[in-house]
Structure 1
Amino acid sequence: MGPVSIVIITLNEEKRIGRLLNDLAKQTHQEFEVIVVDSNSDDNTRQVAAAYQGALPKLSIHKMETRGVSLGRNTGAAMAQYERILFLDADVRLESQFLANAISQLEDKQLEVAGVYMGAKNLPLVHKFGYGLFNFGLFVTQYTFPTAVGACIFSTKRAHNEIGGFDLDIKLCEDCDYVKRASRRWRFRFLNLTFGFDPRRLDQDGVFKMGMTYLKANVRRFFFGEMRNNEMEYKFGHYKEQ
């Protein structure tokens, strides 16, 4: 199994970044580096992350002066040492076999870019329902109009560089645009895996409202193309509970 460069973008995630880094320290596959790209957090995100350098020897922390999801991912990709890249958000949780299973599937299926489904283990029924609907949409669209969850996307340096990385002008569905462009050159599929996804976004925005936001956004993308002029306003790190 090959090595992986794991890029984690953060903004005021002192309460969550430690959980993810602890999950990574417990992975059965340990051939990876971790690059935390912080969007100039106002809290102790970088300090909390730095405390894991003993458990994760190949951990580096980069502070950006300018905030941005796509900018953070592109910055991390440029710093990546290995060909295989995994983009993660700080509120993701991973089981100990996640990397080993993911790399095995990626190699078996010969995938350059792949998505991962959202897991709702130990979450309330309403979240299971919401995640289930969202995952169904991800499964169906992967064959014709690929979408993805930016919180957990696999890519490679070759694929990332050839498509020009994440589009800095797109604030909503930049992850979907990324995999859509990648799918034009390579076969895109979802892995038979899930990752833990913090429900704070559903809790704050509501299952129905959040679902309708992404449904409306992707319908709009399908008929009119990507949204580069803030047609649907979306702010990075707007969640109250940080």
Structure 2
Amino acid sequence: MTPLSIVIITLNEEKRIGRLLEDLSKQSHQQYEVIVVDSNSDDNTCEVARGFEQALPSLAVHKMNQRGTSLGRNTGAQLAKYERLLFLDADVRLSPTFLTNALYELESRKLEVAGSYMEAKDLSFSYKVGYALFNAGLFSTSFFFPTAVGACTFSTKRVHNEIGGFDPSIALCEDCDYANRAAKTWRYRMIPVRFWFDPRRLEQDGFIKMGLTYMKANVRRFFMGEMRNKRMDCNCDHYTDAN
């Protein structure tokens, strides 16, 4: 199968980055490199990541002087040596066959850019309902106005470079903008693979509040364009380290 470059962005993720790196070390597909791009963390994120250099021989840790989600992803893409890209957040968890199954879907369906679904296993019933509704939205919008979860998004260097990467001027839904711009040239689809997504963001912001925020944001995007220069209140880097 195709080798890929996995770009992981981090900010104060010392308690979580090790879990994801351990998941990657156990993947059935092992033709990949891992690029951890750290947004100048205040904790030991980089040290924890470097502790996996033996388990992940193709691991590089790059610490930036600035902070920014889009900046981190774009930096990782520039450092990547493989054509196929996978962008991950540090609080994601993957099953051992995730890469194998995802690459099979991407190659068989000839997709350069694609999204994946969120897994609600072991979460409460309310979260399972919420995730199911969110996943349904990802699927339905993928055919005309893609929405995406940047925590787990597939792309290629060709796509990334031709659309100019992630737009750092966008305050919210920069991942959706990326997918939407890519879909204007390449076919964007959701593939039937799932990743576990840490619910701490929902717990800290409030399940309903966060859902309404993103629904409002995407309705606004559809009718009025992207949200640049903080046109909506957003503080995307405020999540704490609580387990």
TM (norm. structure 2) is: 0.98
Of 166-175 and 229-238, the range deviating more from structure 2: 229-238
Partner of 2:4: 4
CA RMSD of aligned residues (A): 0.7
Name structure 1 gaps, 5 residues minimum. Answer: none
User: Residues 120 and 128 of structure 2 are in contact (CA less than 8 Å); yes or no, is this contact kept in structure 1?
Assistant: yes
Deviation at 1:205, TM superposition (A): 1.1
Name structure 2 gaps, 5 residues minimum. Answer: none
Partner of 2:81: 81
Of 124-133 and 155-164, the range deviating more from structure 2: 124-133
Helix, strand or coil at the partner of 2:133: helix
User: Residues 200 and 241 of structure 1 are in contact (CA less than 8 Å); yes or no, is this contact kept in structure 2?
Assistant: no
Give the distance between the partners of 1:188 and 1:201, measured in 2 at CA: 26
The answer on 1:53 being equivalent to 2:26 is: no
1:14-163 equivalent positions in 2, closer than 5 A: 14-163=14-163
Deviation at 1:235, TM superposition (A): 2.1
- The one-letter amino acid of 2:207's match is V
User: Residues 68 and 236 of structure 1 are in contact (CA less than 8 Å); yes or no, is this contact kept in structure 2?
Assistant: no
User: Residues 92 and 151 of structure 1 are in contact (CA less than 8 Å); yes or no, is this contact kept in structure 2?
Assistant: yes
Give the distance between the partners of 1:228 and 1:202, measured in 2 at CA: 23
User: Residues 7 and 76 of structure 2 are in contact (CA less than 8 Å); yes or no, is this contact kept in structure 1?
Assistant: yes
Deviation at 1:196, TM superposition (A): 0.4
TM (norm. structure 1) is: 0.99
Give the distance between the partners of 1:37 and 1:5, measured in 2 at CA: 12
Give the distance between the partners of 1:164 and 1:60, measured in 2 at CA: 23
Partner of 1:206: 206
Helix, strand or coil at the partner of 1:24: helix
- Report how many residues are paired: 242
Give the distance between the partners of 1:4 and 1:23, measured in 2 at CA: 16
- The one-letter amino acid of 1:95's match is S
Give the distance between the partners of 2:192 and 2:185, measured in 1 at CA: 22
Helix, strand or coil at the partner of 1:209: helix
Moved over 6 A (4+): none
- The one-letter amino acid of 1:131's match is Y
Of 227-236 and 216-225, the range deviating more from structure 2: 227-236
Give the distance between the partners of 1:232 and 1:68, measured in 2 at CA: 17
Render the CA deviation track for 1:44-97: whole Å, top value 9, x for unaligned. 000000000000000000000000000000000000000000000000000000
Render the CA deviation track for 1:145-177: whole Å, top value 9, x for unaligned. 100000000000000000000001012000000
Identity %: 67
Deviation at 1:231, TM superposition (A): 1.1
Helix, strand or coil at the partner of 1:74: helix
Helix, strand or coil at the partner of 1:233: coil
User: Residues 39 and 67 of structure 1 are in contact (CA less than 8 Å); yes or no, is this contact kept in structure 2?
Assistant: yes
Give the distance between the partners of 1:74 and 1:229, measured in 2 at CA: 19
